[in-house]
Structures are given as C-alpha cells and as structure tokens.
Amino acid sequence: MNQFKPIFLGRAVPGTDLAALSTACNSQKCIRAGGKHNDLDDVGRDTYHHTFFEMLGSWSFNGSYFKAEAIDMAYDLLVNVYGIDPGRLYATYFAGDEDLGLAADEEARECWTRYLPEGRVIGCSAKDNFWEVSEEMKWASPDVFLSHSPSTPRRRIVRPPPIRIRPTHEACACISDVFRLFLSSEKMGDTGPCGPCSEIHYDRIGDRDASSLVNADDPDVIEIWNLVFIQFNRDETSKLASLPARHVDTGMGLERLCSLLQGRRSNYDIDVFAPLFGAISSMSPVGPYGGLVGDDDSTLRDTAYRAVADHARTLTFALADGAVPDNEGRGYVLRRILRRATRYGQQILKCEPGFFAKLVPVVVETFGEAYPELVKNQANIIDIVMEEEQSFSTMLDRGIRYFEDEIKGEKDGEESKKVVSADKAFFLYDTLGFPIDLTELMAQEAGMTIDMVGFAAEMEAQKRRSREARLAARGMGGKRLELIAEQTSWLADGGIPATDDSSKYSWDVELDAVVRAIFTPDGFVKDGEVAKEGDAVGLILDKSSFYAEAGGQDADLGTIAFEGGGELIVSDVQTYGGYSLHSGVISGGSISPGSGVKCKVDYSRRRDVAPNHSMTHVLNSALREVLGEGCDQRGSQCNDEKLRFDFSHKSAMSPAQLRATEDFVRDVISKSLPVTSNVMPLADAKAIPGVRAMFGEVYPDPVRVVKVGDDCSVEFCGGTHVSNTAEAEAFVLTEETSVAKGIRRITALTRDSAKKAMEQGSKFEGRTAILESLVADDTPTLDKEAGALRKELDAAELSAALKSELRARIESVQKKGIEAKKRLLAQRVDKCLNGVKDEVESALSSGKRSLVLNLDIGADSKASQKVIKEVQKIAPELAFMGISEEDAGSGGKVLCFAVVPDALMKETGLKADEWLKDVLDSVGGSGGGKAGSAMGQVPQCDDVGVVIAKAESFVKDAVAVV
Ligand code: ATP
Ligand code: MG
C-alpha cells in the first residue's frame, strides 16, 4: 500500500495521477518471512500459510466509498460472482478498545448483519481487528497499478509490460504488479494511517456453527479477506487523530480463495502447486505427496513437500525482482528460506543436492505468463539458487551429523539435555551456516528447544567483537561507543534535541557548538563531571558541521577544539536516532557537559572524499550506458582513498566495457558539469525522469536529490559532493571483481590517487614496449623477463582496462619468448649430442667404464632421453651421469641423470639412484629412480663444477669405477 500512502496522509501532490485517483484494485506479490509479518514457522506445517503469496486488493481513496460499499462489494463478489455458499461465511468486526479509547465498529457490524445472521458476525479485539500501517511497506517497489471504480471504466495509470492471466488468476477481479516485501528486521510502524478492519472467514466443512473456530488457528476455518477501514492517523506521541478523508484497503489471499473455489481443503491442493509436487516427487525416493498434516505426517514427508514447494516460489519471485541471498537484511531472509528448503529436501525427502534449483523452471513455467520477469531472469535465478544450494549442501551433512551426534544423542534421559545449548546452536550458526530458525526447527522435530537467550548473547558478543575490531583499527583502542535505544531515549527525556547537522554541507567553516552530552564506555558523564586527556569519549553537540557516516560515505574526520584548551581527535561520527556521536580520544584539556567547542572538520580530507562520492553517481550512469538498464546499484562505499561500487551484472566486464565506462566518467569530468542538490517531496523526486534509487532502501520525505549536469545523473543522496565535476580532476577504474553470484564490484580512484595510477599506467606501457622490442633479438631470457613484468603489473594499481590490455601484450611476448627458447634449446641439444658422441668414443678408447658428462641441454628432461639413447648406442657397457645447467652460467636450475648398465652394477655394486642421491644431497637437490637409471634436479646451483666434481669422486672413491 506504500504507493498510496501519500493519498492516505493527504500529501499527494495536486495535479498528479496519484492525486486524481479515487479507487484502484491490484494484485501484489507478498513475502511474509520476517519482521512482524512472519509466517515462516507455519509454512509446511499448516495448509494455508505461504511465505510467498499473491494478495488481491481493492482500494478506495478520500471517501470514494467506505465501509458499507466495501462490505457490499466483497459479499457480492464472493457470493454472486464466485458462487460461494454464504452459509459458510463469517465476518469479524472491531469490538472496541478502552486503552485506545475507541468504541466498537457498529457500522461494520450492521453492514454485515444485512447479509449474515448475527451469530456469524463476530466482534474481535484490536489484536485481530485493528490495523496499523507497517514500516515494511516502505519497501514497495515503484508504483505500478491498474485502477477502476465501480462506476467508471477501468483506467490505466501506469502499465507494466502486458500481463496475461492464467486461469487461476482469471478467477480474480484484476491484476497488476506491486511488490511488497515483508521482511526481517523491519518493524511495524508506530506512526501512520490506521483503523479498524473487518475480516471474512470461510468454513471449509459447512453445515455447522463454526463461529467459535474463527481466528482460532483452525485449518478448516480460515480468513480469506481483510477489509481495512483507514480512518485514523497515529502521530509520534502515539495519539490517534481522525484522518481528514477516509480510505479502504482490502487484501484477499489468492491461494486461499482458489482453494475454496476449487473445492480443496488445503491451499497446497490447488492447481498451481501440482506441477511443483510432481517435480519434487520425480526427484524424491520417499514417494509422492500425501497431504498429511501434523502428527499424521509422522515422517514429515508432506510437511517437507509443502515447505519446499512454497520456498521454491518465494526464492524464484524474490530473485526475479532483484533480491539476492546475502548475510544480512532481506538477503538473509532469502538465504534462510533457501537453506530451510535444502534441509527439508535433502534430509527428509532424500533428494540429491541440486534438486532445489531444478524447481525454478517449474515455477517459471507455471507463473511466467502472468509474471514475465520470471521468464526474463530465469537463467540468472537458476545460477544463483544453484550456487547457494551447492555451497550450503557441503555444510548440511556435517550439520545434520553434528545435530544427531552432539545434540540429539545427548537428549535421552536427562531433562536438561532437552535444551540445545547456546554454544552448540551458535556453532551450527557460525561455523556451519545453519540459520537459527533452521536449528530451531530441527530441535522441535526432535522434541527439544534452544537456549535462545544464550544464543542472543553469543550473537551480541560476536557483534561486539567485530565492532571493537573496527574501532581498534580506527585508533579507538577497542573501546566501543554506540548509542542504543535506552541511551537515545535518555537524551530525549533529558530534553536534549537531536543534533542540528545542517552545516554538514558547508565547507571551510569552523562551527561553534555546545556540548550537550558526553558518552563514555561507562555511560554518560554527569553534569559537573569532566572527561579528560586520554579518555575515549563520544560527544553529542547541539549542532555539528561533521558528516556522519551514511549512504556509503565514510564519516568526516577532524577535531573538536575545547573552549578552555585541548581537543577531541575525531575518529568516527555516527548518528543514532538523530543524535550525532563524535567519537575519539581527548588530547589535552578536559571537557564537561555545557562547555563550548569549535567543530574543525578536516576539509582537505573531505576534498578527497567528495569527488569519490560524486563520481560514484557518474559511474552508476556510466554502467547503465555501457551495460544496459539491467545493472542495478547494490551498494557503495567511498572515503578519501577510493570509491567502491557494487552492482548487479551477470559476468565479468570485458576490457572494452571497462574502457568505455572509464571514458564516460572522464568525459563527464572534462565537461566540467555542475553538481547540484535540492530537497523536495519524495513523491515529486520519484517522478523525476531517470532518477536512481537503491532497491529496498528507505528514503526520507522530503528527500535530497543530487544532480550531475542536466541529465547525466539524478540520485537520492544525502552525501557531501563536489560543486563541479572538474574538481574530481582525474578518474581511474582500477578493479572489477565478483563479490557474489551476479554481483560485481568496481573500485576506482579520483584526483591525486587517480593521477598516480595514470603515471603507473604510462610506466608499464613504456616497459611493455621495451619488452616487445626485444622479441626480434631472440633474447633467451625474454620469457622470464616477461613473467616478472606481468607479476609486477598484476600487483600494481592502474586502470583495469589498461592492465588487461598490457597483460595480453606481455603474455604474447612471454609466449614468443618460450618459443624462441625452445628453438634455441633444440639447436643447443643438436650441438651437444655431437659433442657427447666424441666424448664417449674417446672415453671408450681410453678404457673408461664410467663417465660424467657436462652437457648443454638446458633442464630439458626430454633432451636427456636423447643423450641416454645416444650414449647407450655407442657404449652400452658404460655407466654415466649427465649434468646440465638450465641457462649456462646463470646459477639457476641444474638437471642431473645417471645410467648404470646391469653388468656393471652386478660387478661393482654401483647403482644409479645411489650415485644420484650422493651427488644431489651434497648440493641441495632432490630426485629419485632405480638402480639402473635415476633423475633429479638442483633448483638453485651457483657452481655446476662442484656437482661434476662430486659425481666424479663418487665413482672413483666409493665404487672405484673410473
Ligand atoms: P492469518 O491470520 O490467517 O495469518 P492475516 O491476518 O495475517 O491472516 P492479513 O494480513 O489480513 O492476514 O492479509 C490479508 C489476506 O491475505 C488474508 O485474509 C489471507 O487471505 C491472505 N494471507 C495472509 N497471510 C497469508 C499467508 N502467509 N499465506 C497465504 N495467504 C495469506
Ligand atoms: Mg498472518
């Protein structure tokens, strides 16, 4: 409903399509797997909750219609259009709440009693029947909806690519495409539009009075439609005020509706689940889906079927909308769901790893016609799911074994053992990647519980460790300074207003401010007390010119000078509930609450940060230009050293794409475009053509919009920027790597760092050209030189496009060098073989029975075989050892091989392997072989003469065969 929130709050901009809207109806993709709306635990276990489902909605704005019409139309649709037996319907209404100061919703009750007997119109408490807008709704993706009112023809406001509806969908009034992602950590909002609601429940059995089963978690008496009457707004002080205009927001679960239209007792028995169950069954040896629930499903087979089918839909739909499994936030919700499915599939259904990715095409086939984004992104979704599934599968077996042996095995007998200890649950989580809810599920299956308090403490300790490490790295000596809710409320209760940080956009100012509070690792400093030299503290000021870390931009550094002398060296600035906490260590002097200070931001450092931030925006535009619209921003980080930008893209960028991206940004710098910012209402800002906002990011209203040039880039952003692109001076894209499946990361530099990288680039270009000029000379060491240059190049910081071009050129030289070397070696070997012939013949003629040959065949073992053959041809009775330096006189590698004929061995006891070992041991070489022949190497040999002398002395002294 987020797209309609401005209407509910009376903030729709007059003259816009939104303001003109009087009614609408739509279908929304809903994921309820985190936060207040979390149905994950029920999924699989019951027959009517999914983590992903389609919700059909109808809307009335500004009193176009209200309770009576909404109830009339709902009843009409269910009974007269869909033909549902009214004898099975029950309605609830809000029965009033003293605490809220609200009376019962008699109006809704009376509307219902026109259709249903009094006994089937049931008053319920605020828990079930008072509805508040949720923060999660701010996650809604751009507004795309169809609208119609009963009296006017259907009107198209913004239309997605044509949607055709499959039979199941055709049962429903209309369809569109608004994605609501109800996910983790987000909480239900404390403020916003709200009001009583009225739910319609359906009894799957019929012919009875089921009123006591309404809202009682009975699978046969389920809620199908919720009509919400928005007539209040809750303000910051939690007070309810009547809204100037009243609205209706209704939601009906498509799967529940279909289950009753198709005469099924379970949502999972409707047509859209059949192909999924078919596919799972073809991969599972435990038999087909049997529809059993609860204790009847003793092997958990059917629970697993339902969960796996549900989770396949959730993952496929969420990934198609650009979400990615990750370690935090909504990405972690998806990872948890996927791991849960993997566990159900492999442990309970005995499917092979990889089974889950095979379900993606089934979901795409079933829903692709109505949701074309599934078809478009299918390959990518399969890749991501496959990789996620495989990486977890490697841990799954270990985790299951650990659970069986270390946890479950201990259980029997002792009562205390029925609780999984926090450290074991944490080991599963931290080392084996088992999300805690998965461990909890496995514990429940084994009749156990988890020490969740202990687990939370372990998690907290881990967080603290990593934050302390971060602070230690920033010179805070491992002291953790972070305000939690308790402390920000203490500040607010003490009448301390939020920090006025409007001066953060000013440059070169020294702002006078007053210390409002001093926070230390031991709590707040009391009035009258002081913090002194060497203390690690966080200052809260009435106003500040420091930029606190936000939107991917690191915090400003600098100092806060104390009125009476001394200063705080600011090493970090973070905001908590509107309070900027300036953390650092006091250098000289002391400070107490109420003292005057001067904020001295290090603007020369900020001058290096700002261009990195501004060029991040330009880079975002450049990537769209070069790679197309499919690449979305996934994160960014900039500081005074560099900028980092993460985006969705399937494969590595080619050198040409890197070059084009770099050129685009350089061009924008050379054009000296102005960079401007403007604060405007969120709805207006969203309407700016080409505006970029991060998917899933929550933006304030009004929002700050930063523009580069006229149309180069427009982004929602609160960062500090350059005023003209020329201030960035230079730009070098130094790296493009992968951070996760389908997510790439670019690192880039501006200003002096970029110039340095450009100088590096020129140097390497020069050296590469020199290297290339050596190719013609057949320089024997060319390959080595090329190899060394390549190594240096790889470690250097320069343009990634240039790097890959130079790398290719150097590799080509290296290849030519290796070829030249081979050619030269072949010539050397030929020459050497002639020499060997002469030497062996002369040894024979002087009656020698052993010979040490100083060869010139490099360290080429193939050439050594040629030598052996040649010698054996002329002198089959001769024992010999060949010794050859890789590059004569270079002090490098030396090859050694020995041959001893049988007859000589029997007669004298000389053995090739012993001979070789004796020689190599003395010069740090290694090798091996048999008594008849052996081969080895000395990796580094300064004087080959020593090796030869050793070889000769062995045959002389030890065996006396000369
Ligand atoms: P329940 O109490 O059954 O969980 P709810 O009160 O959470 O329902 P609403 O938030 O009012 O439901 O959502 C509106 C409609 O969406 C419901 O009437 C129901 O038809 C459908 N719905 C809600 N949650 C789910 C779910 N997890 N799976 C399928 N349909 C759902
Ligand atoms: Mg619910």
Q: Give the residue whose CA is nearest to atom 9 of ligand 1.
A: 226
Pairing of strands 419-420, 240-253: unpaired
pLDDT in tens, 857-889: 988 888 999 999 999 999 999 999 999 998 776
How much distance in Å is there from the Cα of 179 to the middle of ligand 2? 18
Q: Give the residue whose CA is nearest to atom 1 of ligand 1.
A: 223
Q: Is 582 one of the annotated binding-site residues?
A: no
Binned at pLDDT 50, 70 and 90, residue 355 comes out as very high
Task: Indicate the residue among 831, 858, 876 that finishes a domain.
Answer: 831
* Range list of β-strands (E), 183-329: 192-203, 221-234, 240-253
- Give the number of other Cβ atoms within 10 Å of residue 792's Cβ: 13
pLDDT at position 468 = 67
Q: Residue 37 in contact with residue 136, Cβ under 8 Å?
A: yes
Binned at pLDDT 50, 70 and 90, residue 177 comes out as very low
What DSSP letter does each residue of 784-820 carry, written as one string?
A: HHHHHHHHHHHHS-S-HHHHHHHHHHHHHHHHHHHHH
Which residues make beta-bridge pairs with 253? 55
Ligand 1 pocket test target in 49, 59, 260 with most atoms within 8 Å of CB: 49
Candidate from 82-96, 188-202, 375-389, 539-553 with smallest mean pLDDT? 188-202
End-to-end Cα spacing for the chain:
98
Residue 683 within a domain: yes
Ligand with smallest separation from the Cα of 50? 1
Phi, psi of 665 (to 5 degrees): -65, -40
Ligand with smallest separation from the Cα of 54? 1
Q: Are residues 578 and 645 in the same domain?
A: no
Mean pLDDT value of segment 569-578: 90
Residue 459 within a domain: no
Q: Give the residue whose CA is nearest to atom 31 of ligand 1.
A: 253
Provide the CATH number for the domain around residue 740.
Answer: 3.30.980.10
Among the atoms of ligand 1, which is closest to the Cα of residue 267? 29
* CA atoms 402, 404, 409, 411: torsion sign: positive
pLDDT at position 697 = 62
Among the atoms of ligand 1, which is closest to the Cα of residue 128? 6
Q: Is 148 one of the annotated binding-site residues?
A: no
Q: Are residues 759 and 802 in the same domain?
A: yes
Percent of the chain with pLDDT over 70: 89
Ligand with smallest separation from the Cα of 251? 1
Ligand 1 pocket test target in 36, 43, 55 with most atoms within 8 Å of CB: 55
Q: Is 311 one of the annotated binding-site residues?
A: no
Tell me how many domains the chain contains.
Answer: 5
Residue 274 within a domain: no
How much distance in Å is there from the Cα of 250 to the middle of ligand 2? 14
Q: Is the pLDDT of residue 172 over 80?
A: no
Please state, rounded to an integer, the average pLDDT across all residues of the chain.
87
Burial class for 493, CB neighbours closer than 10 Å (0-12, 13-18, 19+):
exposed
Among the atoms of ligand 1, which is closest to the Cα of residue 200? 18
Residue 519 within a domain: yes
Give Cβ neighbours of residue 251 (< 8 Å, ≥ 6 apart): 28, 55, 56, 57, 225, 226, 228
Q: Is 613 one of the annotated binding-site residues?
A: yes
Burial class for 265, CB neighbours closer than 10 Å (0-12, 13-18, 19+):
middle
Q: Are residues 860 and 772 in the same domain?
A: no
* DSSP-H helix ranges across 559-654: 603-627
How much distance in Å is there from the Cα of 98 to the middle of ligand 2? 24
How much distance in Å is there from the Cα of 267 to the middle of ligand 1? 12
| Identity at 230, one-letter amino acid code | I
Mean pLDDT value of segment 124-134: 82
Provide the CATH number for the domain around residue 525.
Answer: 2.40.30.130
pLDDT at position 14 = 65
Residue 841 within a domain: no
pLDDT at position 184 = 24
- Give the number of other Cβ atoms within 10 Å of residue 630's Cβ: 15
Task: Indicate the residue among 425, 448, 471 that finishes a domain.
Answer: 448
Measured from CB, residues less than 6 Å from any atom of ligand 1 are 32, 39, 49-50, 53, 55, 223-226, 251-253, 255-256
Candidate from 132-141, 583-592, 906-915 with smallest mean pLDDT? 132-141
pLDDT at position 960 = 63
How much distance in Å is there from the Cα of 240 to the middle of ligand 1? 25
The domain of 99 spans 2-269
Which two three-digit tokens encode residue 144? 């795309």
Q: Are residues 320 and 394 in the same domain?
A: yes
Q: Give the residue whose CA is nearest to atom 27 of ligand 1.
A: 49
Ligand with smallest separation from the Cα of 222? 1
Mean pLDDT value of segment 581-595: 92
pLDDT at position 185 = 26
Q: Are residues 586 and 625 in the same domain?
A: no
Among the atoms of ligand 1, which is closest to the Cα of residue 228? 11
Q: Are residues 606 and 593 in the same domain?
A: no
Q: Are residues 504 and 628 in the same domain?
A: no
Q: Give the residue whose CA is nearest to atom 23 of ligand 1.
A: 253
pLDDT at position 474 = 56
Give Cβ neighbours of residue 926 (< 8 Å, ≥ 6 apart): 920, 936, 937
Provide the CATH number for the domain around residue 898.
Answer: 3.10.310.40
Mean pLDDT value of segment 331-335: 90
Residue 456 within a domain: no
Closest CA to 896 of 867, 857, 865, 938: 938
How much distance in Å is there from the Cα of 223 to the middle of ligand 1? 7
Among the atoms of ligand 1, which is closest to the Cα of residue 37? 7
Ligand with smallest separation from the Cα of 57? 1
How much distance in Å is there from the Cα of 91 to the middle of ligand 1? 15
Pairing of strands 511-520, 523-524: antiparallel
Q: Give the residue whose CA is nearest to atom 25 of ligand 1.
A: 49
Residue environment code for 228-244, b if the CB has 16+ CB neighbours within 10 A, otherwise e? bbbbbbbeeeeebeebe
How much distance in Å is there from the Cα of 201 to the middle of ligand 2? 13
How much distance in Å is there from the Cα of 253 to the middle of ligand 1? 6
pLDDT in tens, 810-857: 999 999 998 988 888 888 889 999 899 999 999 989 889 999 999 989
Residue 285 within a domain: no
Q: Are residues 552 and 606 in the same domain?
A: no
Q: Are residues 867 and 817 in the same domain?
A: no
Among the atoms of ligand 1, which is closest to the Cα of residue 32? 27
pLDDT in tens, 921-932: 988 999 999 999
Mean pLDDT value of segment 723-730: 96
Q: Give the residue whose CA is nearest to atom 26 of ligand 1.
A: 49
pLDDT at position 315 = 97
Ligand with smallest separation from the Cα of 270? 1
Give Cβ neighbours of residue 919 (< 8 Å, ≥ 6 apart): 881, 896, 925, 947, 950, 951, 954
Which two three-digit tokens encode residue 502? 């409007």
pLDDT in tens, 300-316: 999 999 999 999 999 99
pLDDT at position 859 = 86
How much distance in Å is there from the Cα of 32 to the middle of ligand 2? 8
Ligand 1 pocket test target in 53, 134, 218, 317 with most atoms within 8 Å of CB: 53
pLDDT at position 164 = 25
Q: Are residues 360 and 372 in the same domain?
A: yes
Among the atoms of ligand 1, which is closest to the Cα of residue 257? 20
Q: Are residues 234 and 143 in the same domain?
A: yes
Residue 149 within a domain: yes
Determine the angle formed by the axes of helices 782-795 and 800-845, rounding to 10 degrees: 150
Residue environment code for 765-784, b if the CB has 16+ CB neighbours within 10 A, otherwise e? eebbeebbebbeeebbebbb
| Identity at 751, one-letter amino acid code | R
Percent of the chain with pLDDT over 90: 64
Ligand 1 pocket test target in 134, 256, 317 with most atoms within 8 Å of CB: 256
Q: Give the residue whose CA is nearest to atom 22 of ligand 1.
A: 253
Task: Indicate the residue among 600, 620, 646 that finishes a domain.
Answer: 600
Q: Are residues 820 and 857 in the same domain?
A: no
What is the rounded CA–CA span in Å between residue 181 and residue 28? 10
